[in-house]
Amino acid sequence: MSDLEQQYAQEAFDSNWVAPLGPNVDAFEHEFCDRVGAKHALALSSGTAAIHLALILAGVERDDEVLVSTLTFSASVNPVIYQGARPVLIDSERASWNLDPALVVEIIERKIRQGKLPKAIIPVHLYGQSADLDPILGICQRYGIPVIEDAAEALGATYKGRIPGTLGWAGIFSFNGNKIITTSGGGMLVSEDADFVAHARKLATQARDPAPHYQHSEIGYNYRLSNVLAGIGRGQLRVLDERVTTKRRIFDYYRQALGDLSGIRFMPEAPWGRSTRWLTVITVDPEQFGATREDIRLALETENIESRPVWKPMHLQPVFADCEVIGGAVSERLFRDGLCLPSGSSLTENDLERIVDVIKACAR
Ligand SMILES: *Cc1c(COP(=O)(O)O)cnc(C)c1O
């Protein structure tokens, strides 16, 4: 937290707006739109809720197919299941570890030949870096497939000078505690489409029809962000650029300290944009390095330092075992060899030195 969050949250207390709606929510939505260059934004209780609403309004229903990155957090896929639809899990490419556009084009054309147009696609922008969106947007526009960008991990990133999360039909962001800025829990849905966001707003507020009494003509959800938490979000938004700078500085430290070690590589920064380096992620070649990524993780754990393997691909998850998967070798390798290093913006130089020393000691 910076100094501003408490001030905005205090305003909610002082004005007694301790409700799921209020001036902080409106201001947070406006300020968020200004920051990312979106037309309309809807503050929600989570990024997962934002994906769910986008799928509902894309008309995703039982047995529809939705294309999703396989290398992601389960929250990208779960809402597809909430709708009774079928995720089609697609592998990554190597330049950014994100959705492989060539595979996307191939699978969409195959699905169309088979007479089954995918109902939506969810490209994920992983670990602070944009996917290669243009080819994906191109084919989806051609066939009218709504693109729902999962930018939960990529607030602050760029793609060819534009902002990932604002380039598809819908974009979602997360303010969960582990994200680059946080409201403790929260999310945002953005779009250029005013009617879509207005309808999402209604669904997120228990789908109340405009009437003096309580009247409902569709099923609603309780998905709004509270006015107190939106106050925290307003303060956090003001330090976003600072956070990106800090994250990139942490990455540079690791790269300077570890970059020369044989068998250690860093998540590449693709030429199409700037990554926030939300997390610093390495891959470990055990032959060259002399230890596996799991050896490193355990050595860090012994020193009470938490690190995590790269996301386990969704097609390897027991709960999604029955889903169709397209490719998979790239994400499987990244899961096997990839390790997310401690990347919190409050890490001190001293902390980083300790971490680096443990990793170096694992080398042959
Ligand atoms: C965190 C995250 C989400 C979900 O966000 P919540 O606000 O925690 O619901 C979705 N997708 C990805 C890729 C995430 O990392």
pLDDT per residue over 127-156, tens digit each?
999 999 999 999 999 999 999 999 999 999
Q: Tell which residue, 177, 148, 179, has the closest CA to residue 165.
A: 148
How far is the centre of ligand 1, averaged over its atoms, from the C-alpha of 150 (Å)?
Answer: 8
Neighbouring CB atoms inside 10 A of 265's CB total 17
Amino acid (1-letter code) at residue 340: C
The CA distances from residue 287 to 25, 155, 335, 349, 359, in Å, are: 52, 36, 17, 30, 16
Fold of 3-237: Aspartate Aminotransferase; domain 2 (3.40.640)
CA of residue 260 relative to chain centroid, distance: 30
Q: To which H or E segment does residue 125 belong?
A: none
The overall average pLDDT reported for the chain is 97
DSSP reduced 3-state for 186: coil
pLDDT digits (tens, 9 = 90+) for 260-305: 999 999 999 999 999 999 999 999 999 999 999 999 999 999 999 9
How far is the centre of ligand 1, averaged over its atoms, from the C-alpha of 230 (Å)?
Answer: 17
**How far apart (Å, rounded) are the C-alpha atoms in residues 321 and 315?**
6
For ligand 1, atom 8, name the residue with the nearest CA: 176
Fold of 240-362: Aspartate Aminotransferase, domain 1 (3.90.1150)
What is the pLDDT, as a whole number, of residue 133? 98
Place of tokens 């969409």: 108
- Any ligand 1 atom below 6 A from CB of 313: no
**How far apart (Å, rounded) are the C-alpha atoms in residues 21 and 222?**
12
Q: Where do the structural domains in the chain lie, given as residue ranges?
A: 3-237, 240-362
For ligand 1, atom 5, name the residue with the nearest CA: 47
Q: Tell which residue, 285, 288, 305, 291, has the closest CA to residue 356.
A: 305
Bridge partners, residue 173, by sequence: 188
How far is the centre of ligand 1, averaged over its atoms, from the C-alpha of 75 (Å)?
Answer: 6
How far is the centre of ligand 1, averaged over its atoms, from the C-alpha of 46 (Å)?
Answer: 8
pLDDT digits (tens, 9 = 90+) for 151-185: 999 999 999 999 999 999 999 999 999 999 999 99
Predicted TM-score (pTM) of the model is 0.97
Q: Tell which residue, 172, 231, 199, has the closest CA to residue 26.
A: 231
